[in-house]
A and B are shown apart, each in its own frame.
Chain A
């Protein structure tokens, strides 16, 4: 059973601002790390908001983890789709990082012991254990972003959406994020990453969905997506550094990610 299924989903904002026109989006994703990329205004955020019911499709069906979204409230969907929005300041309001991360599971009325375990776990994996009692706004923007990622993690949902998680993050933090994504995939979750950072996608996401002007342009392995340089540029993106370098060096197949680059150069020597 796929973790996520969209069937002919069309959507327009009030005032007939059409994002997804007919025949609509059709998409199936299973557990794993999937990048959702495309130019600004392509409909990436709109698509992710349809997954938890924040937006309702004009026509079509959406099924998340076996549950039809149309029959659930947003609050019910929160248990199925953990969501870390782009701007952390849109959600932080508790006095401590701990309470902030616990807010979601508590709102879902989960038993206290389960909440405690989930929060401790999430803080640990996001490198925030030392900051549990810190006021979220005493942290810098990159760390506030980690608080929201921890919050999404603490929901223990089968699907997790991360909106631009690498924005403003340093090199070490990106490494930590890559490890976190991998561990979520290992526990059979679907991680959907909305991003412009293809260097990160090359390292962390095995699959990529390319959205251009409200149409799914590509769904499949990241490697093949990045082999199509024209499509990547059309989507307003830059090829990852490893791929660009591999192309300049004439490597075939085009390497995607550091591992692939090193293998390519190894076999050439």
Chain B
């Protein structure tokens, strides 16, 4: 049975022990700098730092399938589309009969791919090393409403449960003679019998869950003690401010002629 959408992996690296906000800031700043940085070399520098952090957190091996499954196809697609068809294409890089791959398009594609690499590796760095519940708890302690925090925490576990019930619904309707394979028209017709039971049963479950939460005092307005989240330290706070400061600095540098 799936345990949730969380891809958190147990570990004891510096990143695992860091406060969720520190990692959140790191992720957002890395993405921002990756997109602000002017040239391929600079973006690759950011990517290398992220790869280093993934290695430090001992999750680099889990990142490989992500890189191969998501990043490689995107990169190839970008290279082909831009290399053949970018309007700025002038210089032939690799002649291929009537079509040719052009240097200008390939450069654009590589830069875009490197930026996407930063975006995805930074996101996964956060997800691999942070328990979603810890992130939500940390946000609630900074004033996020507990109800919203609950939605964040529970969605990660309830969505896989819904997927499981979607599979059961599919079985039940097929066993009644519903054709779910074949032409597009057939599959379109199968849409309602598959979707409606999921919606209806989710509604029933939601009502029951709401009652079950109330009888456990969820939403009671009393002072709640904080659940222990990973410790925040002065060093981490300073690090966060430093990271945040990099963003306006980078933007300023771009205006000042950073190439």
Categorize the interface residue count of chain A. 20 to 34
Q: Contacts A73-B181, A85-B168, A85-B171 hold; do A93 and B200 have CB atoms under 8 A apart?
A: yes
Q: Contacts A85-B168, A85-B172, A91-B172 hold; do A75 and B178 have CB atoms under 8 A apart?
A: yes
5 further A-B contacts with Cβ under 8 Å, apart from A93-B192, A93-B197, A137-B204, are: A73-B181, A85-B172, A87-B201, A91-B172, A92-B197
Please determine whether B197 and A90 come into contact, CB atoms closer than 8 angstroms: yes
- A residues in contact with B174, CB < 8 Å: 54, 74-75, 78
A218 within 8 A of B: no
Please determine whether B168 and A87 come into contact, CB atoms closer than 8 angstroms: yes
Q: Contacts A103-B193, A137-B200, A137-B204 hold; do A90 and B168 have CB atoms under 8 A apart?
A: yes
Q: Contacts A85-B171, A90-B168, A91-B169 hold; do A104 and B177 have CB atoms under 8 A apart?
A: yes
B179 within 8 A of A: yes
Residues of B within 8 A of A (CB): 165, 168-169, 171-179, 181, 192-193, 196-197, 200-201, 204
- B residues in contact with A89, CB < 8 Å: 197, 200-201, 204
Residues of A within 8 A of B (CB): 49, 52, 54, 73-75, 78-79, 81, 83, 85, 87, 89-93, 103-105, 107-108, 137, 151, 155
Chain A residue at smallest Cβ distance from B176 = A104
A17 to chain B, nearest CB (A): 12
Q: Contacts A90-B172, A91-B172 hold; do A75 and B179 have CB atoms under 8 A apart?
A: yes
A54 to B201, CA, bound (A): 22
- A residues in contact with B201, CB < 8 Å: 87, 89-90
Checking B176, B179, B181 against A83 with a beta-carbon cut-off of 8 angstroms, the contacting residue is B176
A85 to B170, CA, bound (A): 12
A151 to B200, CA, bound (A): 18
Chain B residue at smallest Cβ distance from A154 = B176
Chain A residue at smallest Cβ distance from B203 = A137
A141 to B181, CA, bound (A): 31
- A residues in contact with B181, CB < 8 Å: 73
- A residues in contact with B196, CB < 8 Å: 93
Checking A85, A87, A93, A105 against B175 with a beta-carbon cut-off of 8 angstroms, the contacting residue is A85
A89 to chain B, nearest CB (A): 4
Checking A49, A54, A93, A108 against B193 with a beta-carbon cut-off of 8 angstroms, the contacting residue is A93
B2 to chain A, nearest CB (A): 12
Please determine whether A92 and B175 come into contact, CB atoms closer than 8 angstroms: no
- A residues in contact with B200, CB < 8 Å: 89, 92-93, 137
Chain B residue at smallest Cβ distance from A136 = B200
B212 to chain A, nearest CB (A): 16
Please determine whether A78 and B193 come into contact, CB atoms closer than 8 angstroms: no
- B residues in contact with A83, CB < 8 Å: 172, 175-176
Please determine whether B176 and A78 come into contact, CB atoms closer than 8 angstroms: yes
